[in-house]
């Protein structure tokens, strides 16, 4: 009798353990980005853990649950100069910083989040006077590391910042779509005579062409951040916060 009770108790524990593990796995595999979190009832903006690579690896991100229907995953956020964006290729690959203040989510994560479905990009600049300007791009994706995280960007683009990543008014010079990612010691831009990322007034990772009219990762004021979003925002001392967010459609 005792052995039978012991056996039943063991079976109950094993069943309970299995049930808990299955629940955890199911939950973790569900929330691959902020939109998945939003769909499952998480409606407050803030920092969450997501699992774009599955249960084996979590990534802490800032989720915007209010803008344009909610469910936006922030791939870049800056509120001060406390985190330098003059970083190595590995830093940009893996991500760096702190999602509640200033961070880059990591190029591997961006690729993983944008490879599975059509994805939109929403960028904002909040000015020191409190005004927030934005631009929404209908199509956004980033290739893998073997392709140097090449950017694919498409319209239509709408907003109050103006489209200076794609339709820049200077064909073949500042259009960033199709450009590979560059950092100061890895030149993948479209300018044969210069490494844009290594210029003293740029010094940050980005998809440069000749070089840019839109660039979010420059030296924070009082550093000389060149053309954050030209001509709408030309001086970094105007900037209080930047944000780049994505959401699958």
Instruction: Tell which wins on pLDDT, 9 or 190.
Output: 190
pTM of the predicted model as reported, rounded to 2 decimal places? 0.87
Residue 35, helix vs strand vs coil: helix
On the question of pLDDT at 176 being above 80, the answer is yes
Question: In this predicted model, what pLDDT tens digit does every residue of 1-10 receive, in sequence order?
Answer: 545 445 455 5
Mean pLDDT value of segment 159-182: 88
Q: How far apart are CA 245 and CA 83, in angstroms?
A: 19
- Domain 31-248 belongs to what topology? Gamma Fibrinogen; Chain A, domain 1 (3.90.215)
First to last CA, the chain: 59
The burial of 101, by beta-carbon neighbours within 10 Å (0-12 exposed, 13-18 middle, 19 or more buried), is given as: middle
Question: In this predicted model, what pLDDT tens digit does every residue of 76-107 receive, in sequence order?
Answer: 999 999 999 999 999 999 999 999 999 999 99
Q: How far apart are CA 207 and CA 45, in angstroms?
A: 28
204 with 197: CB under 8 angstroms? yes
Q: In the 8-state DSSP scheme, what is residue 187? A: -
On the question of pLDDT at 40 being above 50, the answer is yes
On the question of pLDDT at 21 being above 50, the answer is no
On the question of pLDDT at 158 being above 90, the answer is yes
Q: How far apart are CA 26 and CA 24, in angstroms?
A: 5
Q: How far apart are CA 29 and CA 133, in angstroms?
A: 34
| pLDDT band (50, 70, 90) for residue 16 | low
């Amino acid at each position: 009798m005792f052995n039978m009770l012991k056996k039943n108790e063991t079976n109950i524990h094993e069943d309970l353990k299995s049930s808990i593990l299955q629940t955890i796995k199911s939950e973790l595999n569900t929330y691959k980005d902020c939109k998945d979190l939003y769909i499952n009832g998480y409606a407050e903006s803030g920092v969450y853990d997501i699992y774009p690579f599955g249960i084996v690896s979590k990534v802490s991100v800032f989720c915007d649950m209010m803008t344009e229907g909610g469910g936006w995953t922030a791939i870049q956020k800056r509120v001060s100069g406390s985190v330098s964006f003059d970083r190595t290729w590995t830093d940009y690959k893996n991500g760096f910083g702190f999602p509640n203040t200033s961070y880059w989510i990591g190029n591997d994560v961006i690729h993983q989040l944008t490879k599975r479905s059509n994805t939109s990009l929403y960028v904002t600049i909040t000015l020191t006077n409190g005004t927030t300007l934005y631009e929404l791009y209908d199509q956004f994706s980033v290739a893998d590391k073997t392709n140097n995280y090449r950017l694919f960007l498409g319209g239509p683009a709408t907003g109050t910042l103006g489209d200076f990543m794609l339709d820049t008014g200077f064909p073949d010079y500042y259009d960033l779509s199709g450009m590979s990612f560059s950092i100061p010691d890895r030149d993948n831009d479209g300018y044969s005579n210069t490494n844009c990322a290594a210029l003293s007034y740029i010094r940050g990772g980005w998809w440069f062409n000749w070089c840019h009219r839109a660039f979010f990762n420059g030296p924070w004021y009082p550093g000389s951040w060149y053309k954050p979003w030209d001509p709408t925002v030309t001086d970094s001392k105007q900037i209080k916060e930047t944000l780049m967010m994505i959401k699958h459609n």
